[in-house]
Every structure is written in structure tokens, then in C-alpha cells.
């Protein structure tokens, strides 16, 4: 082995390999394909990447691992690792550098789980008018009297049959033209983009053309795989954004770019590779599944697979080239990073994006492996913190077509707000931070198996009942060891604040009600931090052999997030000179799971009739799909990006004041009439 390298082995995955000495354990994990949580983007502030460096000689691997083979202990680690755990070899993966051979154990809570992505396509009305259309034509073969070239021959056919004129052709398509024409015996199917450019020519008559609308979120990526001829959503596919390893939120990724010379390229390459995988996934489902071929007795040789079609089902059998149109929506930072555009200035006041306007980019110029002559339609951007994803939301919700005032909240890793009606629309963003999605909390995690997603607290006994992702039955109907709880995710976090308040565990200020909770077995002071905390799940119910708790600090983080959101909404109402909204729409995965009642109790947004609060799911993705299926929506998108006025809330004079007030949990007053009956009277009196 090279002297500059060291052997690193990760357990329990068993992944191992040589890495250059001097890189951090997190960097080594990335090289070896081990997923370790790195929510803060290696800024040493989230404490999620704790690992244990083992001591001893490991005969099996031929290495001797010891703590002296990693760099010295740093002050930053003390915040997250107490003396006892330090003694046991625990380290922050983003701090400790590899100095020699090591065996690293990744505790379950540090492992980046496979997030449960739920971004199904909603039923929204879209007019059928795709940018990509196919036309079938038959032409005469050339003769000495009429030796016109192939391209001009099909152009003449398209004009005669369909009235389409002045077409150009992509060079890569042109290369396939002479063979396609002759293979098809002078009958071909021509794919025409935007009535402008020929991007594919196939011999014979083809009936269908396909596309995919992609919503690239900071954390998850969803694709709607559509038949552009019939508008049918053939499949919905999704995946984690592979950039998560560079940091959980957009600022972390922008920072990663600024700290690493090739950081932008890396992140861009990763998401492009991710999109290609997503596309492969969509296509894979158009083929019958495969199963192992049974060997005859005594037969040897490699394992073979045979197709195992479901009876009565027909399969499309598509290839990457059969995807002929793609639309993509994303927030501004994701937009810039995917397109390999410097995102630095999006992160610096006054946060100007590099471009607002939509773009048509050749798939091959981005490395997206579909029909190579096709274009990727990139949705336009509203502002530095309100991106193309928000334009997608607008395209799907169309608040500019309605008289009533809508407040649309898209809570992803960043909060984006739109308020308005047919007369005026304003948008804004608020730094909810990643707390609502689980980062920065002692046991916060992504929506992966083992995450607590629903909580109820008995107001009498203060006992906790909860449900985890991956298990249907609630705690109360399960054996403790069946729960395998691991942490708490976004929807659980909203529940917990509302439930703690409703059950009287905390007061409207968010502070634990020590009078009430005194001597309750679930309430205690953490011996290490001296912080009050409340036990949500006991160690025996967990898969990490620890009590899962919510701390006073966690509650403060959630209050900061919801306060930012509420204050943002309030300031926007003020701007529009309104005192109420007619409809509140909650978009994003969050919106699908959130309990409307609890969102109202905790004061996530201004008061509204419960029945007028709507979860609209992945509305951004729906907007991308609308742009895929209806080219007029692309024009509408640019209209939106130009005409929605972006308001920077943090520079409003009353912002600080409003924000502080909004941190409180509201109680029923004239300003919150719809809270009536939701919280017991005695709590409201506090």
C-alpha cells in the first residue's frame, strides 16, 4: 500500500478501502459509499455524524485500528460527545481525520436512512398541448427528376400533411435520417419540438411519445413519467437527492461549493447522475420483472434470469431514448447547482439569481441521458429564495386565476410563501431552517423507517402514544420492542409541539410546565446538559438502545422555525393590506402529512377555517407536469416569474418584533377565532 494511504473499514456495512491520509472520516465514507448523516454539510455544528473509532487488531482485515490513527480531539466535538463517550472512542466524523488504518463503527442513529419519499401525482386539470409531438409521414423516394435531399423531402411532407413550416433539425437527428427513411421505406415518424426543430426520426409509424417532469427538492427528487400522447402518468418515481451528503440545506451546499474548488462540479455531477438513475428507474418499470431461471438437476454455470411478466399485463419496453421531453423545477440554489452555475451570490444579500428566465437546454449538454437531441425545459425562477419550484406551485394552484385570496406555504427545507389573488401576487421566503424536517433536534431525523411521524399525548396521564414509519400499529397496540423507534421526523415534530401544549406539558411560551410535570417519570433533567427533556419513547421501544426525548432546546428550535413562517405570513398580509386569507394551501411532502388541526394549534400560519386548510401535496411537481403536458404553461411560467413580486421580509422594520411574538404558541383570541374548541380552556388560561 502507498505510504500516503490508509485502510479504512466501516462497520456494520463492512465497506472498506484505501483512502489518502489526511481526509476526514466523512470524506472517507463518501469515497467508500457509506452513508453517514451530515446534515450541516460538515460545518461541525449538527453533531449528526458521530462515529466510533475501534481499538484493536482485526485479524480478518489484517489491520490494527487505534484512536492514535486519527487526528487529535477538537474543541468542537465537546458539544456533542461527553467525556464518557469520548473515552469509548466516539468522534465527530467531519472533524476526525484518517492518519492510519482504522475500523470505524457507524452507530444506527448516524446512519443516513433511506427516506420514505411520498410524492404521488395529484389529479389536476391540464390542457393537452405538449411541446413534443410526433407526426407520421410518407414521402416519395428521390429520382433523377426530383433528387431533393432527405431533410427537405420530409419537411415538404410535414408542411403538406400538417401545415408545419420552417423546421430545423438537430445534427444528431440528422445523422439518423438517411437510414431511418430507407429502413422505413420512405415512411417515418418525426418528433417535432415546439413546432421548431426535428429531434427524432424513426422508421415506420409510432403512436406514442414520452416525457418526464422532475421536481428536484433539496432532499428528495420526484419524477412523473408521462405518456405525452395520452397525458397518462405511467409511473411516479423518486429518490433522495444524492447531494444530501454535502449538506442538508441549500446554504450548506452553497458553503460546500465555496470551500471546495471542485465542489460545484461534484454536486452537479451527482444530481445529474441521480436524474439518470431516476430515468432508468422509470424505464425499468416498463419491462416485465425478472426471476432466476431454475437450473435442471446437475446443471452448472452462472445464474440466468428470465422475464416473469404478470398475466394479462402488457409492457411498454421503453429505452432512455424514448424519453423525448423533460421539465425540471427546483429552488434557486438547486437550479444553479444542477446547471453548474455559481450559486455563491444566491447566498449573499441581496440574493440575486444568475437567471430568472426559463431555459431550453439540450439534454446532452447537461449529460442527461434521454433522446440526445431533445431539450430539457428548466422552469423559470422568481427570486434568490423563491425558485422554479414555487413557479411550479403557482402553475398548479393558479392563485392568479381566482378572486379569493390564497396563502400557499411550501415547506421544504426552506419555506416559500405566496399570497394573493387574480389582482396581485407576492412571494417571499422564510428561514424556517431544517428544524421542521428534523435537523438540529436531539433526535430529529428524515422521514425514514423508525421515524416517529404521529404523536398523541394524554392530557391526564401525559402518557405518549405514537406511530413510526414502517409500522402500521400505534405504540398502544404494540409490544415495546416492536416499535424500533429511531427518532422523530417532520410531521412528528409538528405533532409534538401541538400535543405537548394541548396536554399542558409546555406553556404557550414553549417552556416546560415544571409545576405540572414535576415528578412525572417522562420529565427529567439531562445529566450531561442539565437541560429539561421529555421522553417520547423509552429505550426498550427504540432500535438505538436510548430513550428518545424532546429537549427544551428542541422546542425552542421548532418555535424559531414556526415563528419565522408565521411572521412571514403576517408581514405578507400587511403588505397586501389584508387581515385574513380565504384559503391556506400547504404544499410539499410536509403538506401531505401535516395534521391541519395541529398546525393551527401550534400557530404555523394565520388563523383560517380548518376546512379551508388544504394539503396540496407536491404541488411544485404538479406544476412541472403541467409544463410537460401543456406548452402554454411554459409561457405562463415566465409570466409568473416576472409578475409575482418578491418581498424580502427580513428588511421589513417590524420583522424582529413580529418574529419574536410569533414564537409563542397562540391561544384563542379575536385574532384566532378558529382555535375555539381545539385546546382545553384551562391551558388557554395560562
Nearest residue (CB) to a second copy, 239 versus 361 = 361
For 59-85, give the DSSP string: TTTTEEE-GGGBPPP-GGGGGTS-HHH
Q: Is 643 in the site for a second copy (CB under 8 A)?
A: no
Q: Could you say which DSSP state residue 376 is in? A: E
Residue identified by cell 406514442 is 208
Rounded Cα–Cα distance for residues 588 and 397 (Å): 13
Contacts of 2 (CB under 8 A, 6+ apart): 18
Q: Is 471 left (phi over 0), alpha (psi -120 to 50) or beta?
A: beta
The interaxial angle of helices 632-643 and 388-397, nearest 10 deg, is 110
Q: Name the strands in the sheet holding 90-92, side by side, starting at the edge strand that comes first in the sequence.
A: 16-20, 5-11, 102-105, 50-53, 90-92
Cα→Cα distances 45→23, 482, 510, Å? 19, 33, 24
**Closest CB to a second copy among 176 and 286?**
176
How would you list the strands of the sheet with 548-551, edge to edge?
523-525, 532-537, 548-551
Binding track, positions 646-685, relative to a second copy; x by CB under 8 A: x-x--x----------------------------------
Nearest residue (CB) to a second copy, 253 versus 562: 253
Binding a second copy (rule: CB under 8 A), the pick from 350, 521, 653, 677 is 350
Nearest distance, CB of residue 631 and a second copy, angstroms: 16
Structure-block grid coordinates of residue 235:
409511473
Q: Cell numbers for 315, please give them.
A: 409492457
In 3D space, the residue among 428, 492, 503, 522 whose CA is nearest the CA of residue 458 turns out to be: 503
Assess contact for 586 and 452: CB atoms under 8 A. no
H or E stretch covering 622: helix 619-629
Which residue number, 91 or 336, has a Cβ lying nearer to a second copy?
Answer: 336
- Interatomic CA distance for residues 218 and 244, integer angstroms: 8
Residue 133: CB minimum distance to a second copy, A: 21
Going by C-alpha positions, the residue among 58, 52, 57, 8 that lies closest to residue 33 is 8
Instruction: List all residues 6 or more positions away from 296 whose beta carbon is below 8 Å from its beta carbon.
Output: none
- List binders of a second copy among 394-433 (CB under 8 A): none
Q: Which of 203, 176, 333 is nearest to 268 (CA)?
A: 333
- C-beta closer to a second copy: residue 199 or 339: 339
Interface residue with a second copy among 32, 231, 258, 361 (CB under 8 A) is 361
Among 12-20, 44-52, 349-357, 522-530, the segment contacting a second copy (CB under 8 A): 349-357
CB of 56 or CB of 352, closer to a second copy: 352
| Nearer Cβ to a second copy (176/229) | 176
352, 404, 673, 680: residue in contact with a second copy (rule CB under 8 A): 352
Q: Per CB under 8 A, which region of 214-222, 380-388, 431-439, 481-489 contacts a second copy?
A: 380-388
CB of 345 to a second copy, least distance (A): 6
**Do 66 and 460 touch, CB atoms closer than 8 A?**
no
Q: Does 269 bind a second copy (CB under 8 A)?
A: no
Q: Which of 8, 282, 383, 624 binds a second copy (CB under 8 A)?
A: 383
| CB closer to a second copy out of 118 and 650 | 650
Report the run of H or E that residue 216 belongs to, with start and end.
strand 210-216
Instruction: Out of 73, 105, 345, 474, name the contact with a second copy by CB under 8 A.
Output: 345
Any contact of residue 487 with a second copy (CB under 8 A)?
Answer: no
Binding of residue 263 to a second copy (CB under 8 A): no
189 vs 200: CA distance, rounded Å: 8
Residues 6+ apart with CB under 8 A from 543: 108, 450, 484, 485, 486
Q: Which is nearer to a second copy, 12 or 178 (CB)?
A: 178
Q: Tell me which stretch binds a second copy (CB under 8 A): 34-42, 226-234, 645-653, 670-678.
A: 645-653
With binding defined as CB under 8 A, does residue 203 bind a second copy?
no
Instruction: Name the residue nearer to a second copy (CB basis): 108 or 645.
Output: 645
Q: Nearest-CA neighbor of 506 among 547, 555, 458?
A: 555
CB of 151 to a second copy, least distance (A): 4
Applying CB under 8 A, which of residues 85, 356, 424, 553 lies at the interface with a second copy? Answer: 356
C-beta of 158 vs 222, nearer to a second copy: 158
Is 155 or 237 the residue whose CB approaches a second copy more closely? 155
Of the candidates 207, 232, 365, 479, which one interacts with a second copy according to CB under 8 A?
Answer: 365
Instruction: Measure CA of the first residue to CA of the last residue in the chain; give whole Å.
Output: 68
Residue 262 in contact with a second copy, rule: CB under 8 A: no
* Cell (9 digits) for 352: 440575486
Binding mask 300-339 for a second copy (x = CB under 8 A): ---------------------------------------x
Q: CB of residue 275 vs a second copy: minimum separation in angstroms?
A: 15
- Joined grid coordinates for residue 593: 402529512
Tell me: does residue 59 bind a second copy (CB under 8 A): no
Cβ(623)–Cβ(329) under 8 Å? yes
Residue 538 or 646 with smaller CB distance to a second copy: 646
Q: How many residues bind a second copy (CB under 8 A)?
A: 47
User: Locate cell 437546454: which residue?
Assistant: 361
% helix, strand, coil for the chain, step of 5: 35, 25, 40
Closer by beta carbon to a second copy, 219 or else 373: 373
Minimum CB distance to a second copy smaller for 353 or for 588? 353
Interface with a second copy in residues 120-159 (CB under 8 A): 142-144, 147-153
Task: List binders of a second copy among 167-196 (CB under 8 A).
Answer: 168-169, 171-172, 174-175, 177-179, 182
Minimum distance of a second copy from residue 646's CB (angstroms): 7
Place of cell 411478466: 309
- DSSP label at 294? P
Task: Pick the closer one to a second copy by CB: 152 or 682.
Answer: 152
Continuous segment of H or E residues that includes residue 656: helix 655-662
* Spatial CB neighbours of 359, under 8 Å, sequence gap ≥ 6: 339, 377, 378
Give min distance, CB of 642 to a second copy, in A: 9
- Beta-carbon-side half-sphere exposure of residue 434 (alpha carbons within 13 Å): 24
Q: Of residues 490-529, which lie at the interface with a second copy (CB under 8 A)? A: none
Kindly list the residues in this chain that would bind a second copy in the complex (CB under 8 A).
142-144, 147-153, 168-169, 171-172, 174-175, 177-179, 182, 339-342, 344-345, 349-357, 359-361, 364-366, 381, 383-384, 646, 648, 651
Amino acid at each position: 500500500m502507498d505510504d500516503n494511504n490508509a485502510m479504512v473499514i466501516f462497520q456494520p456495512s463492512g465497506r472498506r478501502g484505501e483512502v489518502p491520509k489526511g481526509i476526514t472520516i466523512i470524506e472517507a465514507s463518501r469515497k467508500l459509499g457509506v452513508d453517514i448523516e451530515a446534515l450541516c454539510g460538515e460545518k461541525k455544528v449538527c453533531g449528526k455524524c458521530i462515529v466510533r473509532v475501534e481499538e484493536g487488531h482485526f485479524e480478518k482485515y489484517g489491520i490494527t485500528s487505534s484512536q492514535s490513527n486519527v487526528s487529535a480531539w477538537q474543541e468542537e466535538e465537546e458539544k456533542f460527545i461527553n467525556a464518557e463517550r469520548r473515552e469509548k472512542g466516539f468522534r465527530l466524523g467531519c472533524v476526525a481525520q484518517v492518519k492510519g488504518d482504522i475500523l470505524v463503527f457507524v452507530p444506527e442513529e448516524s446512519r443516513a436512512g433511506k427516506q420514505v419519499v411520498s410524492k404521488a401525482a395529484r389529479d389536476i386539470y391540464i390542457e393537452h398541448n405538449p411541446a413534443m409531438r410526433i407526426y407520421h409521414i410518407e414521402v416519395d423516394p428521390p429520382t433523377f427528376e426530383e433528387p431533393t435531399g432527405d431533410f427537405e423531402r420530409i419537411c415538404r411532407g410535414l408542411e403538406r400533411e400538417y401545415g408545419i413550416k420552417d423546421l430545423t433539425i438537430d445534427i444528431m437527428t440528422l445523422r439518423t435520417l438517411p437510414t431511418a427513411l430507407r429502413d422505413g421505406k420512405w415512411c417515418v415518424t418525426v418528433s417535432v419540438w415546439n413546432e421548431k426543430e426535428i429531434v427524432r426520426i424513426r422508421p415506420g409509424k409510432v403512436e406514442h411519445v414520452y416525457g418526464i417532469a422532475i421536481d428536484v427538492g433539496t432532499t428528495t427528487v420526484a419524477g412523473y413519467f408521462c405518456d405525452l400522447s395520452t397525458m397518462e402518468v405511467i409511473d411516479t418515481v423518486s429518490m433522495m437527492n444524492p447531494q444530501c451528503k454535502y449538506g442538508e440545506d441549500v446554504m450548506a451546499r452553497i458553503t460546500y461549493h465555496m470551500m471546495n474548488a471542485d465542489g460545484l462540479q461534484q454536486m452537479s455531477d451527482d444530481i445529474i447522475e441521480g436524474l439518470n438513475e431516476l430515468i432508468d428507474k422509470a424505464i425499468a418499470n416498463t419491462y416485465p420483472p425478472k426471476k432466476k431461471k431454475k437450473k435442471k438437476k446437475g446443471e452448472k454455470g452462472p445464474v440466468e434470469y428470465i422475464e416473469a411478466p404478470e398475466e394479462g399485463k402488457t409492457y411498454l419496453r421503453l429505452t432512455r431514448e424514448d424519453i423525448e421531453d423533460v421539465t425540471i423545477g427546483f429552488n434557486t440554489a438547486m437550479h444553479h447547482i444542477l446547471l453548474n452555475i455559481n450559486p455563491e451570490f444566491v447566498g449573499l444579500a441581496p440574493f440575486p439569481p444568475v437567471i430568472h428566465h426559463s431555459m431550453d437546454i439540450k439534454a446532452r449538454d447537461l449529460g442527461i441521458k434521454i433522446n440526445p437531441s431533445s431539450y430539457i425545459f428548466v422552469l423559470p425562477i422568481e427570486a434568490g429564495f423563491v425558485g422554479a419550484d414555487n413557479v411550479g406551485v403557482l402553475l398548479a394552484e393558479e392563485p392568479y386565476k381566482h378572486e379569493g385570496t390564497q396563502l400557499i406555504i411550501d415547506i421544504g427545507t426552506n419555506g416559500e410563501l405566496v399570497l394573493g389573488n387574480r389582482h396581485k401576487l407576492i412571494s417571499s421566503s422564510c428561514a424556517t431552517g431544517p428544524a421542521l424536517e428534523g435537523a438540529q433536534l436531539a433526535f430529529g431525523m428524515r422521514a425514514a423507517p423508525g421515524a416517529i411521524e404521529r404523536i398523541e399525548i394524554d392530557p391526564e396521564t401525559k402518557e405518549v402514544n405514537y406511530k413510526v414509519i414502517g409500522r402500521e400499529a400505534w405504540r398502544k397496540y404494540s409490544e415495546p420492542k416492536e416499535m424500533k423507534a429511531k427518532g422523530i421526523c417532520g410531521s412528528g415534530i409538528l405533532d409534538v409541539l401541538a400535543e405537548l401544549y394541548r396536554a399542558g406539558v409546555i406553556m404557550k411560551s414553549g417552556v416546560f410546565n415544571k409545576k405540572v410535570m414535576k415528578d412525572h417519570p417522562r420529565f427529567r433533567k439531562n445529566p450531561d446538559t442539565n437541560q429539561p427533556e421529555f421522553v417520547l419513547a423509552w429505550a426498550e421501544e427504540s432500535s438505538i438502545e436510548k430513550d428518545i426525548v424532546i429537549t427544551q432546546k428542541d422546542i425552542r428550535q421548532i418555535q424559531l422555525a414556526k415563528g419565522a413562517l408565521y411572521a412571514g405570513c403576517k408581514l405578507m398580509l400587511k403588505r397586501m393590506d389584508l387581515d385574513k386569507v380565504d384559503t391556506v394551501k400547504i404544499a410539499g411532502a410536509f403538506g401531505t402529512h401535516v395534521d391541519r388541526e395541529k398546525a393551527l394549534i401550534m400557530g404555523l400560519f394565520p388563523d383560517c377555517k380548518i376546512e379551508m386548510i388544504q394539503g396540496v401535496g407536491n404541488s411544485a411537481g404538479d406544476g412541472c407536469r403541467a409544463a410537460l403536458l401543456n406548452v402554454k404553461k411554459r409561457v405562463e411560467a415566465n409570466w409568473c416569474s416576472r409578475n409575482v413580486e418578491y418581498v424580502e421580509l427580513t428588511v421589513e422594520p417590524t420583522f424582529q418584533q413580529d418574529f419574536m411574538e410569533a414564537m409563542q404558541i397562540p391561544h384563542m383570541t379575536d385574532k384566532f377565532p378558529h382555535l375555539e374548541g381545539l385546546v382545553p380552556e384551562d391551558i388557554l388560561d395560562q
